[in-house]
Amino acid sequence: MRIMRAEQFKLDRQVEYGTPQQNEVVQTIVEAIRTEGDTALLRYTEQLDRVKLEPSSLRVTEQEINAAYDRVEADFLVAIREAAHNVRKFHEKQMRNSWIDMQPDGTMLGQVLRPLKRVGVYVPGGKAAYPSSVLMNVIPAQVAGVPEIVMVTPPATGGKEGIDPYILVAAAEAGVKEMYRIGGAQAIAALAYGTDTIAPVDKITGPGNIYVALAKRTVFGVVDIDSIAGPSEIAVLADDTADASYVAADLLSQAEHDEMASAVLVTPSQQLAEAVAAEVERQLALLPRAEIARSSIDSYGAVLVVDSLEAGIDVINKMAPEHLEVLTADPMALLPRIENAGAIFLGPYSSEPVGDYFAGPNHILPTNGTARFSSPVNVDDFLKKSSLIYYSKEALFANGGKIMALARHEGLEGHARAIEIRLEKEGGKA
Amino acid sequence: MRIMRAEQFKLDRQVEYGTPQQNEVVQTIVEAIRTEGDTALLRYTEQLDRVKLEPSSLRVTEQEINAAYDRVEADFLVAIREAAHNVRKFHEKQMRNSWIDMQPDGTMLGQVLRPLKRVGVYVPGGKAAYPSSVLMNVIPAQVAGVPEIVMVTPPATGGKEGIDPYILVAAAEAGVKEMYRIGGAQAIAALAYGTDTIAPVDKITGPGNIYVALAKRTVFGVVDIDSIAGPSEIAVLADDTADASYVAADLLSQAEHDEMASAVLVTPSQQLAEAVAAEVERQLALLPRAEIARSSIDSYGAVLVVDSLEAGIDVINKMAPEHLEVLTADPMALLPRIENAGAIFLGPYSSEPVGDYFAGPNHILPTNGTARFSSPVNVDDFLKKSSLIYYSKEALFANGGKIMALARHEGLEGHARAIEIRLEKEGGKA
């Protein structure tokens, strides 16, 4: 693992917009689903997923879900249940109420918060089909009070037949009652526009391949979408109190995700820098996914040496990493200065997998430096607000003149007259 | 104004993606600003806005702002100050704190909320340059605690020289200290990528023409953007207790915005339907912007007759209007059933301009049916969250086995080992 001065390092990543060919394929599929509905949906499922279905066989049956429970191990079930419980508890603390502010003149102003009505969760069929991600997408929507949560996932996973039982069990444990065996751009279009079999949704969340991502971009505006996730990232900020073997293991847990993942240590300690670089080599050799992790570490990994922890925080804030671990003598003391990070893991026992799987906070986090302006998936993502304005007669009469003045300065006489007609008719003065 | 059954009406609007030519122009401009910075910015400003500037003259000076104060009327200043005060008060009630949940085993979990660091507000130079919109964009960011808010607006407005003084005063009153005379796609690109003169921002908000909208779409991901606004809409739900002249005036206040605006009355009362249609004709003739309002009413306006108020609410919820007025005998009683609307105005004195200019809630609202899943501009739009995870040794030892089980079921051995190495080294059991 290369060691360098922080100034020499640049993590340069592009937003993925797909090739013109990929975009054209997606446009064609989305348009076909929009106009032909189920017919096109079944056609593309046969063509792209090599599975022939009827409208009546699109939906996953209760028997299949029960059968999936028989196929997963007991320790998985125990762990996923406890994880779901923790995720639910953490997200429940984010819940907010509608509020209303009452004023002495009889005016009431407020915000009405409501859950979205129907949300679609996409679960990919390939190597990135993670039961834990099902929890992280579904539970915040459920806590927000979304009454209809529907999951879609491709009918077959690679060579394997049927849907991964771990996915089905995770979805059922999270409380999903409506699941369809569809995937790709055709699934996104079906969720956005609806078909005879599948009712349209208000928002689509969940990761997918480039076709899924492009389809989500295409239907954005018809429905809401979550952000398009980039490759995963970890930055570790550590001083010489950190255990090099812990730091190395945490960097590798990120690097094993895929070749594009990034794992970076930022430290003022040359000694720790060297120890971690050596530990990464040692541990890397022992990993089943060593090839992926090696490629990731070589391309996007680095140990960055800085002059001080303060200088390290500046580097981190510029990077805005998806995951940040702080392994220093007093990690909490640094918290106020950390401006940009999706999730912040403090201290030696807050290894990233604790958050990936179990603690409760969401593991779907802003990537690609977007932690500068965006947030982990949370309950707010599934709530919408309406402003509430109940103006009293007294308030209108007292303020009508000022409202009319502003409208007339903007050249909007019709706005002014909507106030004026009330004042004139009911004897108010402008 | 046409009167029809609700079933016959369809408000069909498309998301605006621009022509291929417009997209190409925008790509060229954005790329030029990204690579050439100020040089390209000045070149496009001369070419498109017909104003020759130096880097040193891009920024609006304090003298110009002071001069603008001399050019606006006293009644405008009084009204905009009180409006700004009300907007600030309403948005301050939305403010939230970071929180932390402490658990008996020493674990701490929470959400850290922070303002974005730097936000750019675009103010168009043409007919849609509204001082009230400056307040509505700037104040929520300011309440969120954004330390740097920068305004950009074209150097000249149509035939007029210089920036509209009402815009400068509104911005100064809202607290903007940094303003640049740049507009169009070149301004958006300068905010996103930065130039020698203008530091890059984290988010860009505010309306603009199609080039501005396309440029915002292009830089999304590099920075955050607000939603792309569609044409304005009002729906009024009224029964026979409503005053037809008020309803008509409110519909027209929306219709005068532009030819694409939509104004719809939904009512179970045939008598009100006819009275409002007649009143619209009468009042329309007297408006300075009668031509615009007439076009809007003819193309997108309608009086929709329904069987009951309940049926009317169903129509409204499908429509998801930007503005909804409820003028019924007991408007508050209907609130729980209204699911989709950007802003809800209750009762006869809550005319839409009350909210457009003065009451406090934001007037930048979801259009085009997107109130199904999105919200008025609010303080949350300028805050980002980071998850906080401080796991205790006790918690890691108690739960490490379950975390490892989940990681191994997903085939991520490196994740499991990041936990295992700690348990082994410090004597925990998996």
pLDDT at A231: 84
For residue A80, give the chain B residue with the closest CA.
B406
> What is the pLDDT of chain A when averaged over all its residues?
93
Is the predicted pLDDT of residue A159 greater than 60, yes or no? no
Residues from chain A that touch B418, judged by Cβ atoms under 8 A, are 246, 249-250, 252-253, 351-353
Say whether B79 and A402 touch across the interface (CB within 8 A). yes
Indicate which of B204, B373, B394, B413 best probes the interface with A, i.e. most A CBs within 10 Å of its own CB. Answer: B373
Q: Give the Cα separation of A233 and B301 in Å (integer).
A: 51
Say whether B349 and A114 touch across the interface (CB within 8 A). no
pLDDT at A157: 61
For residue A401, give the chain B residue with the closest CA.
B79
Residues from chain B that touch A372, judged by Cβ atoms under 8 A, are 116-117, 202, 384
Indicate which of A370, A390, A393 best probes the interface with B, i.e. most B CBs within 10 Å of its own CB. Answer: A390
pLDDT band at A265 (very low <50, low <70, confident <90, very high): very high
A243 Cβ contact list (under 8 Å, min separation 6)? A327, A348, B425
Is the predicted pLDDT of residue B84 greater than 90, yes or no? yes
pLDDT band at A17 (very low <50, low <70, confident <90, very high): confident
Shortest Cα distance, chain A CAs vs residue B62, angstroms: 23
Exposure on the CB side of residue A32, measured as CA atoms within 13 A: 18
In the annotation, is B91 catalytic?
Answer: no
ipTM: 0.92
Pairing relationship of beta strands A108-115 and A343-346 according to DSSP bridges: unpaired
pLDDT band at A15 (very low <50, low <70, confident <90, very high): low
Give the alpha-carbon dihedral of B404, B405, B410, B411, to 10 degrees: 70
As given in the structure block, the two tokens for residue B130 are 């509204």
At residue B95, the 3 state secondary structure works out as coil
pLDDT at A156: 78
Residue A96: CB atoms within 10 A of its CB come to 15
Say whether B376 and A387 touch across the interface (CB within 8 A). yes
Q: Give the Cα separation of A220 and A200 in Å (integer).
A: 13
pLDDT at B404: 95
Is the predicted pLDDT of residue B228 greater than 80, yes or no? no
Among the CATH numbers 3.40.50.2000, 3.30.470.20, 3.40.50.1950, 3.40.50.1980, which is that of A20-225?
3.40.50.1980
Say whether B349 and A396 touch across the interface (CB within 8 A). yes
Read off the pLDDT of residues A367-405 as tens digits, 9 standing for 90 and up.
Answer: 989 999 999 999 999 999 999 999 999 999 999 999 999
Annotated binding site of B for NAD(+): 122, 186, 209
Q: Give the Cα separation of A267 and A6 in Å (integer).
A: 9
Shortest Cα distance, chain A CAs vs residue B54, angstroms: 30
- Of residues B15, B75, B374, nearest to A405 (C-beta): B75
Is A349 annotated among the ligand-binding residues?
no
Q: Which helix (H) or strand (E) holds A235?
A: strand A233-238
Shortest Cα distance, chain A CAs vs residue B96, angstroms: 10
pLDDT at B20: 86
Say whether B386 and A342 touch across the interface (CB within 8 A). yes
Q: Find the range with the poorest average confidence among A122-136, A327-341, B296-310, B377-391.
A: A122-136
Say whether B249 and A82 touch across the interface (CB within 8 A). no
Q: Which of A9-23, A90-104, B116-130 tops mean pLDDT?
A: A90-104
At residue A16, the 3 state secondary structure works out as coil
Residues from chain B that touch A380, judged by Cβ atoms under 8 A, are 380
Say whether B112 and A344 touch across the interface (CB within 8 A). yes
Candidates B69, B50, B78; CA nearest to B357 is B78
Is the predicted pLDDT of residue A13 greater than 80, yes or no? no
Shortest Cα distance, chain B CAs vs residue A308, angstroms: 23
- Of residues B112, B378, B385, nearest to A378 (C-beta): B385
Report how many Cβ contacts below 8 Å link chain A to chain B.
362
Say whether A353 and B253 touch across the interface (CB within 8 A). no
Q: What CATH number is given for A3-8+230-359 in this structure?
A: 3.40.50.1980
- Of residues A82, A250, A343, nearest to B386 (C-beta): A343
pLDDT band at B58 (very low <50, low <70, confident <90, very high): very high
Structural contact between residues B170 and B179, judged by C-beta atoms closer than 8 angstroms: no
At residue B292, the 3 state secondary structure works out as helix
Structural contact between residues B15 and A222, judged by C-beta atoms closer than 8 angstroms: yes
Candidates B256, B313, B244, B322; CA nearest to B290 is B256
Candidates B110, B155, B40; CA nearest to B391 is B110
As given in the structure block, the two tokens for residue A201 are 């949704």
For residue A252, give the chain B residue with the closest CA.
B414
Shortest Cα distance, chain A CAs vs residue B40, angstroms: 22
As given in the structure block, the two tokens for residue A117 are 């009505």
Give the residue range(s) of CATH 3.40.50.1980 domains in chain A. 3-8+230-359, 20-225
pLDDT at B221: 84
Residues from chain A that touch B379, judged by Cβ atoms under 8 A, are none
What's the topology of domain B3-11+230-359?
Answer: Rossmann fold (3.40.50)
Is the predicted pLDDT of residue B428 greater than 80, yes or no? no
- Residue ranges of the alpha helices (H) in A194-308? 210-219, 244-255, 270-284, 290-300
Q: Which helix (H) or strand (E) holds B334?
A: helix B331-334
Read off the pLDDT of residues A189-222 as tens digits, 9 standing for 90 and up.
Answer: 999 999 999 999 999 999 888 899 999 988 988 8
Indicate which of A92, A365, A403 best probes the interface with B, i.e. most B CBs within 10 Å of its own CB. Answer: A403
Say whether A15 and B222 touch across the interface (CB within 8 A). yes
Say whether B253 and A417 touch across the interface (CB within 8 A). yes
Is the predicted pLDDT of residue A229 greater than 90, yes or no? no
> What is the pLDDT of chain B when averaged over all its residues?
93
Residues from chain B that touch A375, judged by Cβ atoms under 8 A, are 384-386
User: Which listed residue (B173, B256, B323, B325) is catalytic?
Assistant: B323
DSSP B135-198: HHHHHHHHHHT-SEEEEE--SSBTTB-S--HHHHHHHHHHT--EEE---HHHHHHHHHH--SSS
Is the predicted pLDDT of residue A115 greater than 60, yes or no? yes
Annotated binding site of B: 122, 186, 209, 232, 254, 257, 323, 356, 410, 415
Mean pLDDT of B364-384: 94
CA distances from B73 to B153, B160, B164, B353 (A): 22, 18, 13, 20
DSSP A82-128: HHHHHHHHHHHTT----EEEE-TTS-EEEEEEEE-SEEEEE--SSTT
pLDDT at B424: 95
The amino acid present at A204, given as its one-letter code, is: I
- Of residues B203, B252, B422, nearest to A414 (C-beta): B252
| N-term to C-term CA, chain A | 74
Give the residue range(s) of CATH 3.40.50.1980 domains in chain B. 3-11+230-359, 20-225
